[in-house]
Every structure is written in C-alpha cells, then in structure tokens.
Amino acid sequence: MKTTVTTSVGGKQITIESGRMAKQADGSVLVTCGNNMVLVTAVARREPSTLDFFPLTVEYQEKFYATGKIPGGYFKREGRPSTDQILIARLIDRPIRPSFPEGYRHETQVVATVLSADSSFPVEVLASLGASAALHISDIPFNGPTAAVQVGRVDGQFIANPTPQQMEKSDMDILVAGTRNGILMVEGEAKFITEADALAALKFGHQSLQPLLNAQDELREKTGSKPKRSFTPPAIDGGFKDLAEAILKPRIEQAMKIREKSERYNAYDAAKTEVMTKLVATLEDKATQDQRKKELGAVIEDVKYRISRSMILDTGSRIDGRDTKTVRPIACEVAVLPRAHGSGLFTRGETQCLGTVTLGTGDDELMVDTLHGDSNRKFMLHYNFPPYSVGEVGRFGGQGRREIGHGNLAERALKAVLPSYEKFPYVIRIVSEVLESNGSSSMGTVCAGTMALLDAGVPIKGNVAGIAMGLIKEGDRVAVLTDILGDEDHLGDMDFKVAGTYDGITSLQMDIKIDSVSFEVMDTALRQAKDGRNHILAEMEKVIKVARGQISEFAPRIETLKIKVDKIREVIGPGGKVIRGITEATGCKIEIKDDGTINIASTDPAKTKEAIRMINDICAEAEVGKAYKGRVVKIAEFGAFVEIFPNTQGLLHISEIANERIRAVTDVLKEGDVIDVKVMEVDRAGRIKLSRRALLTQ
C-alpha cells in the first residue's frame, strides 16, 4: 500500500513515498522535491557474513533519461560511475555506516537511482534522506534516522538546500548530515570563512535537518513500524579472552611507547605470535583453532583501543609521545623534479606526499558528460595511494572510492586560491603521490600541492595548509587531538580535517564514529585546528612563500590578445583553413573564444610572436593617411587591386599609380609586384582607396 509523508526544508516541499516501487526490497522509498525524484532501496542478507567487518555497499546511479538526455559514447548507455557519482555515494555511505549496531555483519546494499532531475535541488540530499528512510522503515537493524542538508550563505544569511543560482553567490557549500543528537558527517568548501562562521553553519545545518528526521519517523509509523531483525553480535569465548588479555596488555602497553610505526607494529605482531603459540597452536580441534585465531584479532583491537584511549585521557600522552596539541616534525622541499612544471615534497612525521603541477592549454580541459550537460574543468587534482606507502603489497589499477574522495577534498581546499583563467590562462593539473602514510595524507596533499603551485609560478591568492583533528571521548572526559596518527584515526571517535589559509577555511570534512559530539567540542577542534594550520603554514613558508616570478622553461608560454568579434571568422577562415595554416606554420596551440580572446601557447617565444603577428595582420584595419607595403593581386583597366593585409584589398586607381599620365596599368605594374601605397580613404562600406603617387611626391 502506498504511503506518503511530506515536510518542508528551506521553503521547499519534500515528499517521501513507500509502497509503490521496488516492493521486494527490504526497504524502498521514492523521495521527491519538485521535478527531482530519487528511488532508494535497501537490502540485507539474512545470514551473517564470515568477514570481520561490516560489508556495507552504497551505489548511486544517475540515469540520463532523468533529464531527457541520451548518453554519449559508442554504446549509448550509462557506464561505470563518474567521479561525481562516486563522491555522492560516499556522502550517502558515511552518515549511515556508524548508525548500524556494533557487531552487525550482514551484507547490506543501498542503491540510490536518480529518476528525474532538473538541477534546481541538490539530489544528493534527497539520496541521503532516502537511504536512511529505506533502512528506517525496513526490518534491517539501523539506529536511525539520519538526514542531510546542504548549507549555503548569501549576503550573510544561511540558506538550506540553495538553488544553483544562490550557490553562485554563496561563500560556502557545506553538506551537513546527522541525527537528532548531533552531527555525523560534514563535507564542504568555503571562501576563507572564519572558524566561528563554520561552527554557525554546522549549527544551522543540524537545525535544518530536524524536519527530515520527523518525516522518517512519521513514515515508519504509517507503514506499521516493522520490527527489526534480531541478531546476535559475535561473542568471544570468555576464558580465552581473559588469558589472551593477560598476555597482550603489558606487551601492547610497551609497544605503544614506540614512536616509529613499523617497529610498533612489529611489537604488536610479536605479542600476537606469543598468544598464538601459547593459547591457539596447542589446540587440537581445527575448527576451534580457526575460531580462536579470528577471535584473537578482535581481542587485540579491543586491548589497543582501551590502552591508547586511557593513555590520552589519563596522562595526556599519545602513542608517539606527543601532547594533544603538538604537530609532528615537518620537512619541506620544492623543485625536486627537474621536468615537472612545479613540485613539492611535504613530510609530516611518517606521512609524506609528493605534489606535482603540470600547466596545460585549453585542449587539456577535462570534459565531463553530466545529467545537466557537458562541463569543462580547468583544474584537476589526482590523488594516488600506492600500497607501499603503508608498507604493504597490493594490486595496482583504477582509483578506489577512498582515493577519489581524498583527492576531491584536497582539490576543494586549493580551488579557492587559484587565479582566474583570464589572469592565468592555463589548465592546471596537480598529482599527489602519497609516498608514506601514517595519518591524513589528504591534508599532506594540500600542503604538497600548495608548494608545487608556488614552485610552478602560479600566482595563487594565498598559501593553503591542512590538518586532521581527532577526538577521544569517554563520558564527560574529552581530549581533542591535533594532527592525528593513523592509529588515532582508527581508535578515536572523530576524524575532522580542516584546510585553509591564514585568512580562513577553504575546505573541511568530518566523520563522527560515536552517537554525537557537542558543538563546544567542535568549537575547540576548530580553534585548535587553526593553530595547527598556521604552524604548518609557517614551516612551509620557510622553504617557499610566494610564487616564482616565471613558469618552468618546459611549460607552454601562453600569450593572450584580443580581437574584434567580427574578425573571428576571418582568423578561423573557411572550414578552419586560416587558423590551421597558422598552427602548422608556427607549431603553436591557438584557442579562440567567442568574445574575441585568443590564447596562443608555445614553448618557443619566437614562434608565439610569429603567430601573434600573423593574427594581427589578419585583423588589422586600414588607417587613412598610413603607408603600407602591399602586393598587387589583380590588374584591371582602371587600376590595380593591392592586398595590404591578408584578405584585405584596396583599389589603386590608374591615376594614382605614377606622377605622370600612363597609358595602361600594365606599363608600370604586374600581378605579384610588392609596392608601397598610402590609404587615402575608407568609405562607409569599408572600401579602401589607395595611392602610390602620393608616396612618390613625398
């Protein structure tokens, strides 16, 4: 039976419907706002998996029929998810994942499908709402509901779920997701906002999503409040756990005093081996032995969790010996790669990122086929996380969702400081190679990318650094951690990344693993992050502070000139013949815009000058009283036609050829002759009258 609830956020009506589509799924809803419709389904296996983690997958797919388009490409059907679709899938995943009960191991899949879209409303908000609603009304164990809202700010006023037109004027674009108790996830970018502004935006976002939570509760009640499935978390044999912990605890306490990651992990492995030898290898029953091996991993993680957290809360000392506010040692280098247009090597503790910058021309723009039309992107940041960065062996292939997400966060952090294309007409690609990782390689990417931009001579508006903040919370005891390690991310309660300049924040991302975090804690984290960010910026600026005065000798030099719009056709020529000829003659890349702006790129300055001269000759206009060197292109009885510019001819009347009277034009001139002529008149129709005689008498 069809069931519908309706609510309103930011003045826009949102409807959640169930019981009409995809009824065989464990939970399914259709979320609608205006012409925007997203179908979200949730299905979970009845039997638990054998994996030691929660196997949740979230798929987000955009159908081109949603906007009345046929996909491009040879096959004319939707293919693998685009980068934007993967990023939205992550936005849906991150708030619902911590909302499943501890120990739940049943394979679960959430699928969000965009059925209709008109670009007037952020469909990721509808998809996130639908994911929670589908789970909430199903019998799948889920501690929801959750919801998300996009926050913008125009003229100092916060707006929930702004339109694209409003977003163009907004100084922030922040997606906030959470429950009634607090925020679970934050993802966004901003134009140098203050920490106070960021906190206010989070509060506004959390307040704005409350109606969406109420609507989901209403829908669950209307659909019959289906009882949730019962499940039993995997239990560990109590006797084995006590014996294992007795061996593990002193050894892990000692291991956590080792600052070097690989040595610390070797000590963990040694402790595990000791337990295996004493408690597992002696077992005769193979099934019991396999079960104890699996349980041992959980016991070790639990011991590490409790010891690391008590160390911080009881003594204020962290795994690597730092206090809660100290940033790890930083080392910076630039110009480390001779042929890259810019490069920077940033090392913070055991996290190291190599950032590179390549400058390209308009031909290098990234073209993206989206639901709402093709778009061209002049800035790209690609993040690579090879397995050797954490001392592991792994497969190489396409980028995973994590790499795409981390790269997008760093890209948003740096996008705010890039110069306009009109001032710096280059396509910019940054690549971050994570060479070592032990905590926040995405923020290391921001720092390495900034140094590479400066090394490449890109006139950025400010230097950007990033830092990751963590949290340990036990009841009323709270510790906010600056510059967290990988272990502190894994064992802590929050991962809060903040990037920006001295003037303000340019991007932020937060994931909460516990039920909620107070805004007072967030305020502390933001202020502590600012201090850490400014410290990192100061260390970076000891090596490079401002952009180099020139770009690399290996980068294309781009010169820009402006011509009249009505001359564009002449420069291009019939079928592109003229512009193609200039390109072949000079080897330059030439980009012509509709407003008459022409960008000419070449690594050879002489070739660039030659291309500019050829274009100027085509666009030149005759000036009355000025002399030109022209070529006779046609002879007539009454005179000669002389080309003074490419495709520009004037009439040299027979009476203006010589001082004396001549019988025939051919007595003095023939086709192909190069002569000096003076422009005597240009009439309203653009016809040019020339004189050779006027120059002979001077």
What are the residue ranges spanned by the domains of the chain?
3-222, 238-315, 330-541, 557-619, 627-696
Within 8 A by CB and 6+ apart from 650, the residues are 622, 630, 641, 642, 644, 677, 679, 687, 688, 689, 690
pLDDT at 686: 79
Amino acid at the residue 542: K
Whole-angstrom distance, CA of residue 480 vs CA of residue 493: 10
Which parts of the chain register pLDDT below 70?
372-373, 697-698
Q: Do domains 3-222 and 330-541 have the same CATH topology?
A: yes
Q: Do residues 40 and 34 lie in contact, with contact meaning Cβ atoms separated by under 8 Å?
A: no
546 sits in the region (left: phi over 0; alpha: psi -120 to 50; else beta) called beta
The residue type of 444 is G
Give start and end residues of each alpha helix (H) in 174-323.
195-208, 210-222, 238-255, 261-275, 286-315
Beta strands per DSSP E along 10-93: 12-18, 27-33, 36-44, 56-62
Instruction: For CA atoms 560, 565, 570, 574, give the dihedral sign.
Output: positive
Which of the listed CATH numbers 2.60.450.10, 2.40.50.140, 3.40.50.300, 3.30.565.10 matches domain 627-696? 2.40.50.140
> How far is residue 88's CA from residue 396's CA, in Å, rounded to a whole number?
24
Note the CATH number of domain 238-315.
Answer: 1.10.10.400
- Using the Cα atoms of residue 399, residue 403, residue 404 and residue 407 in order, give the sign of their dihedral: negative
Cβ atoms of 438 and 350 within 8 Å: the answer is: yes
Rounded to 10 degrees, the C-alpha dihedral 521/524/529/535 comes to: -150
Question: Alpha helices of 116-237 — where are they, by DSSP H?
Answer: 123-137, 164-169, 195-208, 210-222
Mean pLDDT taken over the chain: 90
Pairwise CA distance, residues 693 & 666, whole Å = 16
Query: Residues 83-94: pLDDT tens digits?
Result: 899 999 999 999
Helix axis angle, 286-315 relative to 238-255, nearest 10°? 50
Per DSSP, the residues of 467-516 read EEEEEEEETTEEEEEES--HHHHHHSSEEEEEEE-SS-EEEEEEEE-SS-
Taking alpha carbons only, the member of 97, 90, 176 closest to residue 406 is: 90
The whole-number pLDDT of residue 697 equals: 64
CATH code of the domain made up of 3-222: 3.30.230.70
Give the pLDDT confidence score for residue 95 in this predicted structure.
Answer: 94
Query: Which token pair is 580?
Result: 């193609």
Tell me the CATH number for domain 330-541. 3.30.230.70
Q: Do 338 and 328 meet the contact criterion of CB atoms below 8 Å apart?
A: no
**pLDDT given for residue 380 in this prediction:** 94
Q: Which fold has domain 557-619?
A: Ribosomal Protein S8; Chain: A, domain 1 (3.30.1370)
Phi, psi of 289 (to 5 degrees): -60, -45
Q: Which residues contact 200 (CB under 8 A, 6 or more apart)?
A: 158
CA pair distance 628, 623, nearest whole angstrom: 10
Burial of 213 (0-12, 13-18, 19+ CB in 10 A): buried
What order of strands is seen across the sheet that includes strand 56-62?
3-9, 12-18, 27-33, 36-44, 108-116, 56-62
Q: Which two tokens stand for residue 696?
A: 């002979």
pTM, two decimal places: 0.86
